[in-house]
Structure 1
Amino acid sequence: MTNLLEAPQQPKLPAGPGTPSTRRLGATIRNLMTSPKYGPVIVTAVLFIAVFVIGGVRYRGFFSGQVFLNLLVDNSYLIVLAVGMTFVILTGGIDLSVGAVVALSGMIAASLLQTGWSPSVVIPLILVLTSVLGLLVGLMIHVFKVQPFIATLAAMFLARGLCYMVSQSSISITDPVFVSLAQTRIPLGGILSITPSVIIALVVVAIAVWVLHATRFGRTVYAIGAGEQSGLLMGLPVARTKVLVYVISGFCSGLAGVLFTFYTLSGYPLTAIGTELDAIAAVVIGGTLLTGGYGFVLGSVLGVLVLGVIQTIITFEGTLSSWWTRIFIGALLLVFIILQKVLTARRR
C-alpha cells in the first residue's frame, strides 16, 4: 500500500543541455570568467590564441613552429624581467628601474669583458650588484616609507647615470663565451631550435612559480597584496618580504641584462629605454592586479607573448611603423585595467 505522505518521485532528467550537470558546468565557467583571480588570465590566453590565429590566416608561414619559438627567443630577457616585476606588483608595489638596470648590466658586462675579465666572474658580479641595488630600494621603501614609485624612479635615474659613467658610447662584446652563447641554437627536431636564453628564462619561470605557490614566502607576497595590515595581524614577515621582492626584481633585471647582451653583443647607455613599461604592461595584461593580491607568473609570460605576437604581426605586415606596437599595447593595457576594475567591483 502506497504511503500517501511519501513524496512522489521526480522523473529523471535526460542528459543534455539544461541538465543540472550542464548548468553546473556553465556556472563554473561563468565564475572563472568573472573571477578577478582567473578571469583576466583566461582572457589573455584567449587573446593570444586569437591574435596568433589571425596572423596565421593573414600571413603565409606564420603558423610555423619556429615563429612561435622565436617569440620566446626574442623576448626571453623580457620574460625574466616580467617575472621580477610580477613579485613586486603582487605586493602592490611598482619598479620603474628595471629598464635602466638592464642597460647598466650590459654596460658593466661589456666594459669588464673588454678589459679581460672572465665571464664566470662578470655574470655573478652583475647579479650581486643589481640585487644589492634592489635591496637598497626595498630598504628605502620600508625604512624611510618612501613610495615605491619615487624610490624606483630614483633608482632608475641612478642606474641610467651610472651607464654614462661607464661609457657614453656603445661597447662591443667580443668575448668568445658570450659570442658562443649568442650564436648557439639548441635543436628541437627538424628545423626547430631555441637559444640558451630561452632555457634560462623558462628555468626562472619554473622557480618563480614554485616560490609563489609552494613556499611561505610566496603566500606572504599574496597576503601583502591582499592587505598589508591583515598580514601584520597574522604575524607574517611583511617587512622582510617587501624588501625581498625588490631584491628579486633587481636580480631578475640583472639577469635580463645579461640575456640582452647575449642578444645584442654590446652595451649601450640608451639600451632598454621604456622597457620597464613593457614589463609592467606584460604583467598587467597577464592578469596581475595593479593593487596586488591577484596574479600568476604564467599569466605574465602570456602577457609577454601577446606583446611579442603583436610585434611579429607588424613585422610580417612590413608597411606599419613599429610605433603601432606601442599603440596596441596602450589600448590593451587600458582594456585590461578596466577589466580588472569591473571584476574586482563585482566581487565586492
Structure 2
Amino acid sequence: MKAGRKLDGNSFLLMLTIGLFFVMYIAGIILFKDQGFAKTQNFLNLFISNAGLIVIATGMTIVMITGGIDISVGSVVAMICMLLAWMMQNKGIGAIPAVLIALGVGVVFGFVQGYLVAYLKIQPFIVTLAGMFFARGMTAIISRDMISIENPTFLSWAKFKIYLPFGGYVNKKGVMIYPYIYPTVVIALVVLILAFVMLKYTKFGRSIYAIGGNEQSALLMGLDVKKVKLKAYILDGFLCSLGGILFCLNTLGGFVEQAKGFEMDAIASAVIGGTLLTGGVGNVIGSLFGVLIKATIEAFITFQGTLSSWWVRITIAALLCFFIVLQSIFAALKKKK
C-alpha cells in the first residue's frame, strides 16, 4: 500500500512536468501563431539546440538518484569542447580519435570523483566543486583563446541533416520543405532510452534507487554501496563527456567561458522532472521534459523579441522553487504516513 502511494506521488510530479510542458507549448502556439511557432521544425529545434543538455541531465539524474550531485558538468563540457578543438586544430588529430580521447577523459574524471565520493566518503558537493574548478582551469590551460573547429569530418557530422517524411510545408517559391533533425538528437534520445531501461529493468538500476532511498537498508540487503556509487559517477562522467561532444557539434569550437551555468540547467531539469534532491526518486523521462520546458521558455523569449534572455533564468528559478516546495510537501506527507 505504501509503495502504491509512493508511486502515485512520484507519478504526480512526472505528470505535472509533462502537463506543464504541453500547456506552455500550446500557449506558445496560440501567442505566436503568426510567427510560425506551430511549425514542426520549431518543435524539433527544442531537441536540436539541447541535445547535449539532454544527455548531461540524464547523467545528473542518475547521480542525484543515488543521493549525490555533480556541479562540475558545465566546466567539464567546456574542457571537452576545448580539448576537441585543440586536438583537431592545433595537433591535427582526426575527429574519431579526438572523440574517443574526449570520452576517455570523461570516464577518468567520473572515476576520480566517484572514488572520492564512494570510497573516501567526501561530500559530493565538495568533490564536484573541486572538479568544477579543476575542469575550468584545465580549459584555460589548454588554451585561453577561442579555437574554431574546421576538421572536415567533424563539420560533416555537425551539418548532416536527417529529413523527416512528415510535417513539411510549401514555401513561397512553391518548394516542399521537410523538417529535419541532426544525428545529435538521435544520439541523445537513444542514450535517454537506454538510461531509462537501465534504471527500470536492471539490477544496477534498482541498486541506484535502493541506495538513494536508504543507504543503510541497501547495505543490509547486501548491496555493494561503494561500487554502485562509483559506477554511477563513472557513467555520469561518460555521459557528461558525450554531452560535451554533442554540445561541441552545435558550437563547433571551444573557449574558456563556454557552458557556464550548464550544471544549474542540468540540475534544474532533473528537479523539475521530479528527481528528489534527497535521492531515491527520479526519472530520466521527467528530466527530458525538464529540458524541454527550459527550451520552450527560450523559444518564447526568441519569438517575443524584446525580452532579455535573463528571463529564462528567472522563470527557471521560479519553477525550481515551485517543484522543490512540492517535493518538500510530498516528503512531509510520506513521513507523516
Pairwise TM-score range, normalised by the shorter structure: over 0.9
2:76 aligns with one of 80, 98, 101: 101
2:197 aligns with one of 210, 213, 228: 210
2:57 aligns with: 82
1:139 aligns with: 115
1:60-209 superposed matches below 5 A: 60=33, 61-114=36-89, 115-189=91-165, 190=168, 191-209=178-196
Task: Check if 1:47 corresponds to 2:20.
Answer: yes
**CA distance in structure 2 between the partners assigned to 1:182 and 1:284 by the alignment:** 30
Q: CA RMSD in A?
A: 1.3
Structure 1: tracts of 5 or more residues without a match: 1-29
TM-score normalised to structure 1 length: 0.89
Q: Deviations over 1:121-148 (max 9, x none)?
A: 1111111111111100011112222100
**CA distance in structure 2 between the partners assigned to 1:120 and 1:272 by the alignment:** 23
Tell me, yes or no, if the aligned pair for 1:35 and 1:343 is still in contact at 8 Å. no
Detail structure 1 runs of 4+ shifted over 2 Å in the superposition. Answer: none
What secondary structure sits across from 1:251 in the alignment?
helix
1:241 aligns with one of 222, 228, 235: 228
> What letter matches 1:126 in structure 2?
A
> What letter matches 1:88 in structure 2?
V
What secondary structure sits across from 1:305 in the alignment?
helix
1:31 Cα deviation (Å)? Answer: 6.0
**CA distance in structure 2 between the partners assigned to 1:36 and 1:166 by the alignment:** 47
> What letter matches 2:65 in structure 1?
L
1:347 Cα deviation (Å)? Answer: 2.3
2:309 aligns with: 322
Q: Deviations over 1:72-119 (max 9, x none)?
A: 001000000000000000011000100000000001100000121111
> What letter matches 1:140 in structure 2?
L
> What letter matches 2:30 in structure 1?
V
1:66 Cα deviation (Å)? Answer: 1.1
Q: Deviations over 1:233-279 (max 9, x none)?
A: 00012111111111111111111111111101101111011000000
1:64 Cα deviation (Å)? Answer: 1.6
Tell me, yes or no, if the aligned pair for 1:91 and 1:221 is still in contact at 8 Å. yes
Tell me, yes or no, if the aligned pair for 1:36 and 1:340 is still in contact at 8 Å. no
**CA distance in structure 2 between the partners assigned to 1:207 and 1:227 by the alignment:** 25
What secondary structure sits across from 2:49 in the alignment?
helix
Q: Deviations over 1:291-323 (max 9, x none)?
A: 111111101001000110011011100010000
**CA distance in structure 2 between the partners assigned to 1:147 and 1:337 by the alignment:** 21
1:55 Cα deviation (Å)? Answer: 0.5
1:231 aligns with one of 205, 213, 218: 218
What secondary structure sits across from 2:8 in the alignment?
coil
What secondary structure sits across from 1:36 in the alignment?
helix
1:220 aligns with: 207
What secondary structure sits across from 2:216 in the alignment?
helix
What secondary structure sits across from 1:37 in the alignment?
helix
**CA distance in structure 1 between the partners assigned to 2:333 and 2:54 by the alignment:** 31
2:239 aligns with: 252
Task: Check if 1:56 corresponds to 2:37.
Answer: no
**CA distance in structure 2 between the partners assigned to 1:251 and 1:31 by the alignment:** 35
Identity of aligned residues (%): 46
> What letter matches 1:103 in structure 2?
A
Tell me, yes or no, if the aligned pair for 1:73 and 1:198 is still in contact at 8 Å. yes
